[in-house]
Amino acid sequence: MPINNLILMQVNFGLNFGLNTASLLGIIYILFGIFYMLFMVTLLFRRASSLNGIAFVIYLLQALLVPSVMLLVGFIFVFQGWRLDPILQFAQFLLTILILYFSIKDLLVNEIYRNR
């Protein structure tokens, strides 16, 4: 048997689509990541002139990194979430609530601060 066949046989892409708690959390992460990126980019364009250098860099990193991580984790949960134990799914649910709370709080505080 050639060595190329041995290497290819060791790779297993087990993509399973199941509708469970982790998959639903993954969908929430994907949707929220998209909306968060859109909102942060529009917020950044509106406030770019009033921000100094380091604040602009921090907002730019927040506008790019947070949604990217949320999208990545969301796709992992959708495709591989069935592997999580129920207690880990519950822990991810609690972390999702915490992330949504702090993200929405941050967006609302920014809007209130901007409207002063």
**Structural domain count, the chain:** 1
Domain assignment of residue 8, yes or no = no
Domain assignment of residue 57, yes or no = yes
Instruction: Please give the pLDDT value at position 42.
Output: 84
Residue whose C-alpha is closest to residue 72's, from 21, 33, 22, 40: 33
- Domain range enclosing 84: 18-114
Instruction: Please give the pLDDT value at position 97.
Output: 92
Domain assignment of residue 2, yes or no = no
DSSP H helices in 1-52: 3-10, 21-47
What's the whole-model pTM score? 0.71
Domain assignment of residue 26, yes or no = yes
List Cα–Cα distances, 2 to 6, 7, 8, 9, 13, in angstroms.
Answer: 7, 9, 11, 11, 21
Domain assignment of residue 9, yes or no = no
Q: Tell me the mean pLDDT per 10 residues along the chain, length 116.
A: 51 58 88 90 79 81 88 88 83 89 84 72
Instruction: Please give the pLDDT value at position 12.
Output: 46
Instruction: Please give the pLDDT value at position 44.
Output: 81
Domain assignment of residue 102, yes or no = yes
Would you tell me the crossing angle of helices 86-114 and 21-47 to the nearest 10 degrees?
A: 20
